[in-house]
Amino acid sequence: MFVHTVFFWLKHPEKQADRDALRAGIETLRDIEHMDAAYIGVPADTRRPVIDHSYDFSITFVFADQHAHDAYQEHPMHLKFVENCAHLWERVRVYDAVGH
């Protein structure tokens, strides 16, 4: 199993149009066939010192293996998402993990 988690910080989080545009872009990624599961979210209303809730959106995509993940990275829909939405975010952080 290969788990790909990405956090997005918008340049203008106060602009609802930017929030809507990024959410719509992220939603297009669900249609990429290489994923076994796709989770899209926003920060939960939990407040403890260890929780970072500064991001605007997160995705967690689960793949069978790294090969499937790598195919996703090169998929035309993923490349189009980056092309169409990169101007919306100020920062992106990616955390990849493998299961045993």
Q: What is the mean pLDDT of the chain?
A: 96
Q: How many residues does the chain have?
A: 100
Q: In this predicted model, what pLDDT tens digit does every residue of 28-68 receive, in sequence order? A: 999 999 999 999 999 999 999 999 999 999 999 999 999 99
- In this prediction, residue 44 carries a pLDDT of 96
Tokens linked to 66: 């790294």
Say how far apart CA 79 and CA 99 lie, in whole Å: 26
**Residue 16's domain is classified under what CATH number?**
3.30.70.100
Q: Is residue 51 part of a domain?
A: no
pLDDT tier for residue 87 given thresholds of 50, 70 and 90: very high
pLDDT cut 90: percent of the chain above it? 98
Examine residue 9 and state whether it is found in any structural domain, yes or no. yes
Say if 20 falls within a structural domain: yes
